[in-house]
Amino acid sequence: QVQLVQRGGGSVQFGGSVKLSCAASGDIRRINDMGWYREAPGKQREMVATITSSLITTYSDSAKDRFTISRDNTKNTVYLQMDNLKPEDTAVYYCKVDSIPPWGITPRDYWGQGTQVNVAS
């Protein structure tokens, strides 16, 4: 089993910044892709940003110029720096880790517990 612990979030003013972190622990041989997803009220979960083990990043259109995803492999941690926040960024943010177990070769998806980010208008 793999556990993901998210930290960060909270309320922020329009144009403010928030940094999220997600640390993975447990039965891990290797972590491939890591990413951040969010669920806004009344909407489906959507991808915000992903980062591969080779540091290739992908951003949603809404995040590409304002958010930055990074990772620290020594800590099995992925970060999301969110700048210039807008009210439409209000959502529950979840981290996802594609982790290869010590006994296998195929990555399995694990999700963090989620953290609320509220951006005041």
Residues (pLDDT < 70) of the chain are none
49 contacts: CB under 8 Å, gap ≥ 6: 35, 36, 57, 58, 59, 60, 63, 67, 68, 69, 80
pLDDT for 36: 98
pLDDT for 6: 97
pLDDT for 121: 85
pLDDT for 91: 98
Q: Return the ∠ at Cα 111 (arms to 33 and 8), rounded to 5°.
A: 95
pLDDT for 106: 87
pLDDT for 10: 94
pLDDT for 104: 87
State the average pLDDT for the chain: 96
